[in-house]
Copies of this chain bind each other. A is one copy, B any other.
Amino acid sequence: MKNNQFAIRPTDFKDQLKELTEIGFLDKDNEAETNPIQLWISFLSKSFLEAKTSSTFEEELKTYMATPEQNLGEYLDSATHVSVAAFYNVALQLLKFNPDVDFSFSEPLEAMKKIQLMIADHNGDSFTVDELKSAWYWLLATHNKVGQTYLDSLASKGYFTKFYGKITKPLLFNGKTLPVFDPHELIREVVYVESPQDSDHDGKRDLLKAEILRPRETENGLKVPVLYTASPYNQGTNDETGERLTHNVNVPLKHKTPNKLQYSDIEYHGDNQTIPEPRTTNGETKRAEQTFSRESSYTLNDYFLARGFAVIYMSGIGTKDSDGFRTTGDPEETISTVSIIKWLTGQLPAFTNRTDNIEIKAWWSNKKVAMTGRSYLGTLATAAASTGVSGLKTVISEAAISSWYDYYRDGGLVIAPGGFPGEDADVLAEETFSRRLQPGDFHNIKNQWDDQVKAIADGQDRTTGDYNTFWDARNYHKDFKNITADVFMVHGLNDWNVKPRNVERLWNGIKHNGVTQKIILHQGQHIYINAFRSIDYNDIINLWLTHELLGVENQAKEIIHNVIVQDNTQPENWTAHQDWSSNDNNQIKYNLSYDKLVTNSVSETTQSFQDHLDQTTFDNYAKHNDTWEHDLVAADEKLASNQLIYKTAPLDDDLTIDGKVNVNLKVSSSDNIGLLSFQLIDYGTAKRLTVSPTLLAKNSLAETYDWREDDLREFTSAAPTPFKMITKGHLNLQNRENNYKVDELKPNVFYNIGVELQPTFYKLLKGHQLGLIVYATDFGMTVRGNQNIKYTVQTNDSSLVVPIFTN
């Protein structure tokens, strides 16, 4: 059991007293108290919110132990000083730690240190009155066993309801905003933003529906910032019709005609479509005409709704109640995404409905916006940032795509997002095209939509897998230079849906923009991390947004580490670093020698493998990708002739890979086509983290009192496993130079290739072996032609280059 808090703000004593007073822990009755016992009782009585009388309060005191032999009631009756040990014995209980499991009453400070909880300064064995005030301050800021600060746990019991309706500005504690806004009094309103585009070509600018939740206090003049989540899924999805479009991946790899294409030949330059004139405004109002009962919400946003932030969800072009067509990430979608930010900052109009042209302004907005959300949502945040739109102060892009080619393609191959073979840009467009869910609307645009889907299918070009103008239009790297918003990235090092290259290119692509950039790399797949026990993610984002959107000088940029990485070798361990995947990292070059990875020179050899499988084995692997994945790494005999495996000797010391591993091969194919896949493996039996977070307690994380809840989760240790895949990569042998130019591939001729595997941060423990598997068909990601191709590697002209982390 270990807590990791990265968002605690160093606060001097004077400010501690001020904040304790503002939130009501110090008041005229206790601020001059000279008896530390009486002061402690006063703090406790303000915290035991469920006890409404002195009898119930005193009964509750008796349920805590202060020393190994005395309960808290007895202690307070008899002691003259507040001993540090007694204080932290009680603190640990208030924080829900368990004496039978987590600590001992005889050594509370030992447990505090072990769990990584802050112990307040003290000069002796007992707290002075001032030390006690400070200790109470830090206790309020400390995380409990179930993923919340003690103060937030009090909030969930109703501590801050006394502030409801009396607030004229956000209330802060330790640099973070507090839940003093009644979430049941939120104003929910819909507006239609007029976006400067006509993506459905109906001759009118697209109107885009936005769902707004803002504190009631805005009606009395409070200006608030906005957390904006652009989610194409939020108005519903077409799972069945999307599924029908899913492509068959049991198709052969095809020969591509060589060409001499240069980047300028396929570069996207925008379209020259003229945009219809804006609507003529018919008047203006401050009142919306439409509301909504329940948005499809992100629990991180829910947390901020009680803390004085407005939240907006907008689904964009081609979704229910909006105009336009889905495009899967092209510039039209980016224009759609930023339009609400332009409305919030007074640069675009919105209307109360789709008919009357009555304008409604964001008169309650403080003109500062952050974007939140994961996956496609985070992608659109990245896209929005790449426009440099003013008002967008920061994006929190979680598991975000930074180039759609890196999502659906790789190295001249169609490469599926992990778990979704056959998905592509056209499928995603259809799935998110929620205008279909309103048959009265859909009826009028059905044929145009069919054309649009076909155009996307043509553009994405599953035949070659090459980078082309379609993908260039969906590559945000090109506009990284425009990013002026601070960027907070979150990505899973085991995310094989949106692969880590997407975030690594963003991380390394904006280093010279002059913006602040932060990144958290966790051990999950494609998940949210805002309800984990072992890291104070909500607090970190609170500190961040309080600075970015409220302009509070809380030192967020200095306090939050640039890089926070979750350790892959033990649970609940997060470490801070200065950088990730730096070009300055040292490298180890391994040579390939028979089945080994060695650092000395090697003799001349070739090794071969084939790609074909008997039909039964093929069918089984095609159906059960997990079985294939296991058999591949386990070197199952069924795949003995279908792969080459190279391993280092057992490592003498821990080895941490930091960045992009490169594979260099001299290789031939027996045909005029060829694809290669690579996996880097950690071989060595060890307890590893569970693949998905374990659900610790359903609905146990309250965002505040009587409001929405989240499920507490954590990565825990699973049963020992003999290996784990670290990272992977793919290449079409006809794309040896780049992803758009097609090279000739002559059968049985050796070519040099270089493949950059997905970036990672991975610690191999001493005694483990680093392994490289070279194979062809990747049942989870590539096409599966089951073709009769033999690949031969000239091992002495091949190598593996591994960037390493050094402290």
Contact = CB atoms under 8 A, between A and B. Distances in A.
Contacts of A272: none
Contact of A355 (B52, B55, B241, B436): B55
How many chain copies? 2
A62 B440 contact: yes
A440 B355 contact: no
A572 to B, nearest CB: 16
A786 B85 CA distance: 51
A626 to B, nearest CB: 13
9 contacts: A51-B289, A53-B289, A53-B352, A64-B438, A65-B440, A72-B440, A184-B706, A293-B706, A294-B706
A158 B293 contact: yes
Interface of A: 49-53, 55-56, 58-59, 61-65, 69, 71-73, 93, 98-101, 105, 156-158, 184, 190, 238, 240-241, 288-294, 321, 352-356, 436-441, 443, 702, 705-706
Contacts of A100: 238, 240-241, 436
Label chain A's interface by main secondary structure.
loop
B184 A289 contact: no
A761 B583 CA distance: 66
A241 to B, nearest CB: 5
Contacts of A353: 53, 55-56, 59
A353 B354 CA distance: 59
A440 B293 CA distance: 45
Contacts of A93: 439
Contact of A55 (B101, B289, B436, B438): B289
Given A58-B355, A293-B706, 7 more contacts: A52-B288, A53-B290, A55-B289, A59-B354, A61-B440, A64-B440, A293-B705
Nearest to A74: B440
Contacts of A355: 55, 58-59
Given A55-B356, A157-B293, A706-B184, A440 B50 contact: no
B706 A50 contact: no
Contacts of A62: 440-441
Given A100-B436, A443-B65, A291 B240 contact: no
B240 A98 contact: yes
Contact of A293 (B50, B240, B356, B437): B50
A294 B156 contact: yes
A158 to B, nearest CB: 6
A715 B468 CA distance: 44
A705 to B, nearest CB: 6
Nearest to A706: B184
A292 B56 CA distance: 12
Given A190-B50, A289-B55, A290-B56, A71 B440 contact: yes
B101 A241 contact: yes
A334 B454 CA distance: 68
Contacts of A290: 50-53, 56
B156 A293 contact: yes
A65 B63 CA distance: 63
Interface centre among A64, A69, A293, A702 (most CB of B within 10 A): A293
Contacts of A443: 65, 69, 71
A289 B291 CA distance: 40
Contact of A289 (B52, B101, B705): B52
The 10 A-B pairs with the shortest beta carbon distances in the complex, nearest first, are A71-B440, A63-B438, A65-B439, A157-B293, A53-B289, A63-B440, A55-B353, A101-B240, A56-B290, A55-B355
Contacts of A49: 291, 293
Contacts of A69: 443
A512 B291 CA distance: 56
A94 to B, nearest CB: 12
Contacts of A238: 100
Contacts of A72: 440
Contacts of A65: 439-440, 443
Contacts of A98: 240, 437
A288 to B, nearest CB: 8
Contacts of A55: 289, 352-353, 355-356
A105 B437 CA distance: 14
Nearest to A244: B100
Nearest to A240: B101
A61 B354 CA distance: 13
A552 to B, nearest CB: 29
A714 to B, nearest CB: 14
Contacts of A56: 289-290, 352-353
A408 to B, nearest CB: 25
A52 to B, nearest CB: 5
B439 A63 contact: yes
A288 B437 CA distance: 51
A78 to B, nearest CB: 14
A577 B50 CA distance: 49
A774 to B, nearest CB: 32
A313 to B, nearest CB: 14
Contacts of A64: 438-440
A485 to B, nearest CB: 30
Given A63-B440, A93-B439, A98-B437, A50 B241 contact: no
Contacts of A241: 100-101
Interface centre among A72, A238, A290 (most CB of B within 10 A): A290
Contacts of A294: 156-157, 702, 706
A73 B156 CA distance: 46
Contacts of A190: 50
A63 B441 contact: yes
A107 B240 CA distance: 20
Contacts of A99: 439
A101 B239 CA distance: 10
A212 to B, nearest CB: 13
Contacts of A705: 293
Given A100-B240, A439-B93, A440-B72, A52 B291 contact: yes
Nearest to A355: B55
A309 to B, nearest CB: 19
Nearest to A444: B71
Contacts of A352: 53, 55-56
A158 B702 CA distance: 23
A95 to B, nearest CB: 13
A238 B100 CA distance: 9
Given A190-B50, A293-B49, A440 B240 contact: no
Interface centre among A288, A355, A702 (most CB of B within 10 A): A355
A289 B98 CA distance: 27
A293 B157 CA distance: 5
